[in-house]
Amino acid sequence: MNFLLSFLLTLSLLAVTFGVQAAPRPKLTDPNATAETKALRRNLHKLAKKYILFGHQNATETGHGWNREPGRSDVKSVTGTHPAVIGVDFSGLSGRPPEAIERAKQSLRTLIADTYNRGGVTTVAWHFTNPVTPQTGFYWKDSVSAAAVPNLIPGGSHHEQYKAILQTVASFAGSVKGKDGKLAPMLFRPYHEFDGGWFWWGKPHCSPEDFKTLWRFTVSYLRDSLQVHNFVYVFSPDCLFKTEAEYVDRYPGNDWVDMVGFDDYADFGRDGRYNLPAGIAKLKIVSDFARKNRKLAAFTETGLESIPDTTWWTGSLLKALKAEKVRLAYVLVWRNDARSATHFYAPYPSQASVPDFIRFYNDPYTLFEADLPRLYRRKKLFFF
């Protein structure tokens, strides 16, 4: 018997003798998830012990002064590699004419498959039109918008319409395959920033129980009735909580969530106001909750519009991420607009924060697409 085998057997005997057991690995809410989706969840969990993936919304779709140029991203133009996580949106899958929905499907299918083929991760937001008052879009408009959530849940006036919307989402999810023929996994993040009032699904517009019912029905219908097995379900309020109890006020339960996160622009320099201690405290609340409940955690949205603070990447963001030794799968900053000169959250060549972003990129803690191991395989990651 060689030394290594003998050593491992000794450790096992000690564990049994003293009642020491390894913590059970976190599991997905979907026991029938595809092998690639399970591998992604497992590998993100392992990576989060030492690293964090950097993400950018719409990174390969649009950038500062350009739109839909294959192979391009502003992050790649600065660093030589795409972000590790790329955000897309399912907003185009409902509330539009059929031909527009088909165009949105084709565009999304290409974006997500390309990211999967390169080994990156796709996270999906869902800014979708209010089915009850479609003229109001996805924002809440006082005296015009209807409180839709109670009408979408079982027994509600628009429940069948909501099921039809989910059927479109499901058919799309089942159509996105990589060049290996496998379904591309997605981090699906519906109803984000629900603790605010700006979206029709927000806290002032529905009860906690109705929100939880909507969430549970959404997951159950997609997973069990429509056989969607390539989603990782992400729960992400905004930053309006100060305690764990406030954070979980609308949490639907561990059986319905795979990843927990939150969006926070307010504490990280929005309108020139910083409150990094508050942001750090919230990162710790979410990370601690995830570890206790065997969930992944992420900083699902943040950023500083126009990045006027030239040391924001290391002086604010990286500082906050490292402050409490939190375990987060990824951090994502918002999009760069093709037409606006000021609406951007990641640097482009010549932007003032580029030198500091390069320092952020070179830090061993941050991972970009070129740094990633094979996330969609269950083999041991020789990366630690």
Asked which of 13-22, 72-81, 336-345 is least confident by mean pLDDT, the reply is 13-22
State the CATH number of the domain containing residue 135: 3.20.20.80
Residue 365 in domain: yes
Greater pLDDT, 9 or 343: 343
Q: What is the mean predicted confidence (pLDDT) over 164-186?
A: 98
Residue 3 in domain: no
pLDDT band at 36 (very low <50, low <70, confident <90, very high): very high
Q: What is the mean predicted confidence (pLDDT) over 132-161?
A: 97
Of all residues in the chain, the percent with pLDDT exceeding 90 is 91
Question: Does residue 212 register a pLDDT over 50?
Answer: yes
Q: What is the pLDDT, as a whole number, of residue 302?
A: 98
In this structure, are residues 353 and 313 in contact, taking their beta carbons and an 8 Å threshold?
yes
pLDDT band at 3 (very low <50, low <70, confident <90, very high): very low
Q: Which of 47, 37, 34, 28 is nearest to 294 (CA)?
A: 28
Residue 352 in domain: yes
Q: What is the pLDDT, as a whole number, of residue 24?
A: 59
d(CA 163, CA 150): 14
Greater pLDDT, 22 or 294: 294
Asked which of 3-7, 138-142, 265-269, 300-304 is least confident by mean pLDDT, the reply is 3-7
Q: What is the pLDDT, as a whole number, of residue 378?
A: 84
In this structure, are residues 123 and 335 in contact, taking their beta carbons and an 8 Å threshold?
no
Question: Does residue 16 register a pLDDT over 50?
Answer: no
Q: What is the mean predicted confidence (pLDDT) over 68-76?
A: 97
Question: Does residue 2 register a pLDDT over 60?
Answer: no
Domain that holds residue 356: 32-371
Q: What is the mean predicted confidence (pLDDT) over 98-119?
A: 98
pTM over 0.85: yes
Question: Does residue 263 register a pLDDT over 60?
Answer: yes
Residue 45 in domain: yes
The total number of structural domains that make up the chain: 1
Question: Does residue 6 register a pLDDT over 80?
Answer: no
Residue 10 in domain: no
Q: What is the pLDDT, as a whole number, of residue 246?
A: 98
Q: Which residues are CB-neighbours of 335 under 8 A, at least 6 positions away?
A: 56, 57, 58, 59, 62, 87, 343, 344, 345
Residue 272 in domain: yes
3-state secondary structure of 109: helix
Residue 2 in domain: no
Q: Which of 244, 236, 243 is nearest to 296 (CA)?
A: 236
Element (H, E) at 200: none
Q: What is the mean predicted confidence (pLDDT) over 20-37?
A: 80
d(CA 87, CA 82): 12
Q: What is the pLDDT, as a whole number, of residue 8?
A: 43
Residue 376 in domain: no
Q: Which of 267, 292, 295 is nearest to 282 (CA)?
A: 267
Q: What is the mean predicted confidence (pLDDT) over 80-105?
A: 97
